[in-house]
């Protein structure tokens, strides 16, 4: 993911639909999020008929659009029945799903996708549309995961590396406020990577751990100052698998927030290993905030 996140801008919510069960779960989560933010919900269905115009007849394209329009109406009606006070808009796009969602989000909208899809979003798994949407997103994006994403335990977890993650922590704090939840700042560092990079520290891991704790402490104190009514906990953990610790933390969270990054050496939009693991294996929805110019995690 590339781009920037302003301090913190909680704006409209855009969700992609394709008729699959994961997409319906994403719509329910997105509707609840829009209601918390007091913002409209925008439901998008990307048909990709522009990209397939040379291979489809006019009749086939019309049928695709009719089916997509019907799906949007049914989805909007279901949302209205559950949340009658929520403003809902719909969009039938002729573009591919990824382009449709990015365009709908504009500069500040939050994109919500299910963890796998079908239909207008292709008969593919998370390895296609959701990952491509996440990798190329310039605004916040949520991958809705978890067996029951409607169940809330009262905790928002945010992954923090150093002071550069203060915008992510602020965004997570705002999400925690909206949920009346606690905020847990989690700093995880790869012990083997640190030792491999600085051989002289093999016998000084405790000193190294202290440096990592100080990085977390600085962000924690800032968040506590800015959000005095919010319960804020902070934990630092050294491990051989950053992704494993974060996946475990997601067991006990309503939402896991982290900054996205480009994979090292990538030539196009892509996700880092830890982010990739989280969107496949986390036990709660994962909110990815675009980062620009830096890598966030590496678990090599």
Beta strands in the chain (DSSP E): 13-16, 41-46, 88-93, 110-114, 141-144, 155-159, 182-190, 232-239, 255-259, 286-289
The neighbouring-strand residues paired with 93 are: 46
Proportion of the chain above pLDDT 70, given as a percent: 77
The predicted model scores a pTM of 0.83
pLDDT of 264 over the 50 cut: no
CB atoms within 10 A of CB 187: 23
Give the separation between CA 42 and CA 92, rounded to whole angstroms. 11
| Residue 104, H or E segment | helix 97-105
Segment 207-224, tens digit of pLDDT: 555 676 788 899 999 999
- pLDDT, greater one: 258 or 120: 258
Least trusted range by pLDDT, from 19-33, 185-199, 223-237, 275-289: 185-199
Q: Three-state DSSP class for 90? A: strand
Segment 99-108, tens digit of pLDDT: 999 999 988 8
């Amino acid at each position: 993911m590339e781009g920037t996140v302003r301090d913190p801008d909680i704006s409209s919510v855009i969700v992609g639909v394709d008729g699959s069960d994961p997409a319906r779960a994403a719509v329910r989560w997105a509707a609840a999020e829009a209601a918390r933010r007091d913002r409209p919900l925008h439901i998008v269905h990307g048909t990709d008929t522009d990209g397939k115009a040379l291979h489809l007849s006019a009749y086939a394209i019309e049928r695709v659009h009719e089916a997509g329009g019907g799906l949007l109406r049914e989805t909007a009606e279901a949302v209205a029945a559950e949340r009658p006070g929520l403003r809902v808009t719909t969009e039938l796009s002729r573009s591919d799903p990824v382009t449709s969602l990015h365009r709908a989000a504009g500069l500040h909208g939050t994109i919500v996708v299910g963890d796998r899809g079908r239909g207008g979003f292709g008969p593919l798994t998370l390895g296609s549309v959701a990952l491509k949407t996440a990798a190329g997103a310039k605004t916040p994006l949520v991958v809705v995961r978890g067996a029951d994403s409607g169940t809330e335990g009262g905790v928002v977890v945010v992954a923090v590396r150093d002071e550069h993650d203060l915008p992510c922590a602020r965004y997570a704090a705002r999400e925690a406020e909206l949920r009346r939840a606690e905020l847990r700042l989690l700093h995880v560092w790869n012990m083997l990577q640190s030792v491999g990079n600085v051989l002289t520290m093999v016998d000084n891991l405790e000193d190294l751990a202290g440096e990592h704790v100080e990085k977390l402490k600085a962000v924690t104190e800032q968040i506590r100052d800015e959000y005095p009514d919010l319960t804020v906990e902070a934990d630092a953990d050294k491990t051989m698998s950053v992704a494993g610790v974060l996946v475990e933390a997601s067991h006990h969270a309503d939402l896991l927030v982290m900054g996205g990054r480009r994979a090292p050496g990538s030539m196009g939009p892509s996700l880092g290993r830890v982010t990739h693991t989280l969107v496949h294996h986390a036990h709660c929805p994962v909110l990815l905030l675009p980062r620009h110019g830096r890598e966030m995690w590496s678990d090599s």
